[in-house]
Amino acid sequence: GTAEIGVTGLAVMGRNLARNFARHGFVTAVHNRSAAKMHSLVADHGDEGTFIGSESMADFVASLARPRKVVIMVKAGAPTDAVIDELVPLLEEGDIVIDAGNAHFPDTIRREKDLSARGLHFVGTGVSGGEEGALLGPSIMPGGTTEAYASLGPILEAISAKVDGVPCCTHVGPGGAGHFVKMVHNGIEYADMQLIAEAYDLLRQGLGASAQEIGDVFAEWNTGDLESFLIEITADVLHHTDARTGGAFVDVIADAAEQKGTGRWTVQNGLDLGVPITGIAEATFARALSGGAPQRAAAVGTLPADTQPWEVPDRDAFVDDVRKALYASKVVAYSQGFDQIAAASAEYGWDIDRGAMARIWRGGCIIRARFLNRITEAYERDRGLPLLLADPYFTAAVADGVAAWRRIVAAAALHGVPTPAFASSLAYYDGVRAERLPAALIQAQRDFFGAHTYRRVDVEGTFHTDWSGDRSEQPA
């Protein structure tokens, strides 16, 4: 065969990725379970490059040059396994299977083991940027072996987004590292979206501002440190007028946020690794709360607010406070997400370069943002940085906003505006910087009811107090 890369699974993401490969001059083999999608791709976009369409998996595999590079772009879970099972018997040693779907990373670890035992490379690859990114340049997070990356990497880098000429694609690490990092990307995406939603709600309720006016605020914010894709589209959405009612579009959307599961996976993994990703967790739970119809129906109009009317004396100062609270909370969410990457990297032996992750998220992906440059710089200053918040740049940036952050979280509480992500991020900030935490009391309680033992601040060793007896202390 002659095709340099193949794509099987030609729903919108696969179709656009295939077009992206072809547009970059790669001879691209294409295949879909129902051939109609393959034929329509070739008919509609054949002039964009060189496609080799096949109706059968066998012909598709035969059309590829060796080592074959096959991108699977189907639904995560069982559909991905089904395609792998059909594909693998047709492949030969050294061929590379790329799963570009939103796979759960434990599945990727399993598949990589299976395929490497058969002499094949399996590259679990995170791809972010939605439909448009797939076509015009996504952020790409490939896992797998260095050997696979050596031949595959240049192709993926070619089709990825570029920022200052630098591709938004790099080898993340072995095994499930790529899909893990994509998962955390999505968790951070949830936190970013929730923080933006809370900022919007505060501006709406605090100022009584219209969606249009708040859209203007977000457009303004998008010219500063907060500049990002999500802030930009928020301004667009808030400026959008509903054709049916003539009112603000945001007001006619049902307020129950859905999810496909990647945020939930991130939180589950945060619990497994014991990493406090509170911003991501609150964002995920906020979606669950919004969708909890029976609970909300039981509470609306029933649970008292006991709040005062909200009169904001200085509107400009308030808007600026919200901006600072948003930025500080965002730094916390990223700091936590990067902690999670570090913990998983240590746990699974992936050796992930966090600065490089921030670099490949600068373009193409949903969380692309100006401030990711700052994160890359922070990890360049100190590759082992234990806490992003403690990097001098971020410490100063948050210090500049911490008073505003407190005013906003306090005002939200006083006026009954739910800000779980703002508030929990501030609580994390205060927790992590506290010289002494009440965890000491928890340790004492654990020892009291379960003889779980404790350590002391003044003497080495582990101890137990005889709580039910004479309360003497013994070494445990």
Which positions make up the binding site for NADP(+)? 9-14, 32-34, 74-76, 102
Q: Does 456 bind ligand 6PG (CB under 6 A)?
A: no
- Residue among 50, 151, 259, 453 that touches ligand 6PG (CB under 6 A): 259
Is residue 186 part of the contact set for ligand 6PG (CB under 6 A)?
Answer: yes
- Under rule CB under 6 A, residue 12 binds ligand 6PG: no
Q: Based on the shown chain and the rule CB under 6 A, indicate whether residue 183 belongs to the binding site for ligand 6PG.
A: no
Q: Which residues pair with 6 in a beta bridge?
A: 29, 70
d(CA 181, CA 263): 12
Q: Min. distance of Cβ 132 from ligand 6PG in angstroms?
A: 10
Nearest to 1 by CA among 26, 22, 29, 39: 29
Considering the complex, state which of residue 194 and residue 465 has its C-beta at the smaller distance from ligand 6PG: 194
Report residue 38 CA to chain centroid gap.
31
Residue tagged active-site, from 4, 69, 112, 182: 182
Binding residues for substrate: 102, 128-130, 185-186, 190, 260, 287, 446, 452
Report the residue number, 85 or 255, with the smaller CB distance to ligand 6PG. 255
The structure tokens listed for 276 are: 């406090």
DSSP alpha helix (H) spans, 349-371: 354-360
- The whole-angstrom separation of Cα 474 and Cα 91 is 64
- Find the residue with minimal CB distance to ligand 6PG: 128
Q: Within the chain, how many helices (H) and strands (E) appear? A: 19, 12
Q: Does the footprint of ligand 6PG cover residue 189 (CB under 6 A)?
A: yes
Q: Contact 174/350 with Cβ under 8 angstroms? A: yes
The least distance separating ligand 6PG from the CB of residue 102, rounded to whole angstroms, comes to 5
Alpha helices by DSSP H, listed for 63-123, are: 78-87, 105-117
Backbone angles phi, psi at 436, to 5 degrees: -140, 135
Burial of 117 (0-12, 13-18, 19+ CB in 10 A): exposed
Q: C-beta of 189: minimal distance to ligand 6PG in Å?
A: 5
CB of 187 to ligand 6PG, least distance (A): 10
Residue closer to ligand 6PG by CB (options 175, 263) is 263
The number of residues that bind ligand 6PG (CB under 6 A) is 12
State yes or no: residue 260 binds ligand 6PG (CB under 6 A).
Answer: yes
182 is an active site residue: yes
Set 157, 189, 198, 282: catalytic member: 189
Question: Does 74 engage in binding with ligand 6PG (CB under 6 A)?
Answer: no
Q: Is 103 helix (H, G, I), strand (E, B) or coil?
A: coil
Q: Which of residues 40-69 bind ligand 6PG (CB under 6 A)?
A: none
Q: Which of residues 356-385 bind ligand 6PG (CB under 6 A)?
A: 365-366
Q: What CA–CA distances, in Å, run from 422 to 116, 225, 231, 323?
A: 44, 18, 16, 11
169 binding ligand 6PG? (CB under 6 A): no
Q: Does 129 bind ligand 6PG (CB under 6 A)?
A: yes
List of residues 6+ apart from 322 with CB closer than 8 A: 199, 202, 203, 206, 404, 408
| Nearest residue to 22 via CA among 44, 52, 50 | 50
Q: How far is the CB of 228 from ligand 6PG (least distance, A)?
A: 13
- Closest distance of CB 296 from ligand 6PG, Å: 20
Whether 162 is catalytic: no
Q: Report the C-alpha gap between 394 and 289 in whole angstroms.
A: 31
Six-digit token pair at 415? 């006026």
151 in contact with ligand 6PG (CB under 6 A) = no
Distance of closest approach, residue 131 Cβ to ligand 6PG, in angstroms: 9
Query: Which CB atom, from 260 or from 381, has the smaller least distance to ligand 6PG?
Result: 260
When asked if residue 102 is in the footprint of ligand 6PG (CB under 6 A), the reply is: yes
Q: Any contact of residue 128 with ligand 6PG (CB under 6 A)?
A: yes
Q: What does R_g of the chain's alpha carbons equal in angstroms?
A: 25
Which residue among 32, 54, 160, 262 contacts ligand 6PG (CB under 6 A)?
Answer: 262
Cα separation, 457 vs 383, in Å, equals 31
Distance in angstroms (rounded) separating the CA atoms of residues 416 and 219:
27
- Cα dihedral 195, 196, 201, 206 in deg (nearest 10): 90
- The residue (of 264 and 374) whose beta carbon lies closer to ligand 6PG is 264
Is 14 an interacting residue with respect to ligand 6PG (CB under 6 A)? no
**Structure token digits, residue 456:** 């002391």
Active site residues: 182, 189
Q: Give the footprint of ligand 6PG on this chain (CB under 6 A).
A: 102, 128-130, 186, 189, 259-260, 262-263, 365-366
